[in-house]
Amino acid sequence: EEDSCKGGQCLKGLRRPTVQEFERFLPWFLQDRPNLHCAKGGLGAYDTAVNMDANGTILGE
C-alpha cells in the first residue's frame, strides 16, 4: 500500500461525507495522483474542474 493511502485520510464505512469533511478532503483529492496501487486520486481528471482560492475555498462560476 502506498504511503498516500495510509494515515487515516479516508472515511470509514459507507456514508456520505459531511460538508466539513468534503471541504477538508477535496484539495487533498484534487492534488493526489491515482496509480495502480491507489486509484483514489483526482489529479488529472478533476484538478482543473474546480476553482479554489489559496485557502482551499471553492469559488463559484
List, for residues 16-47, the tens digit of each pLDDT value.
Answer: 888 888 888 888 888 888 878 777 777 777 77
What pLDDT does residue 1 have? 44
Q: Does the reported pTM lie above 0.75? A: no
User: d(Cα 44, Cα 34) in Å, to the nearest integer?
Assistant: 9
pLDDT band, very low/low/confident/very high, at 10 (cuts 50, 70, 90): low
Does 51 score more than 80 pLDDT?
yes
pLDDT of residue 46: 76
User: What is the C-alpha separation between 43 and 56, in angstroms, rounded?
Assistant: 15
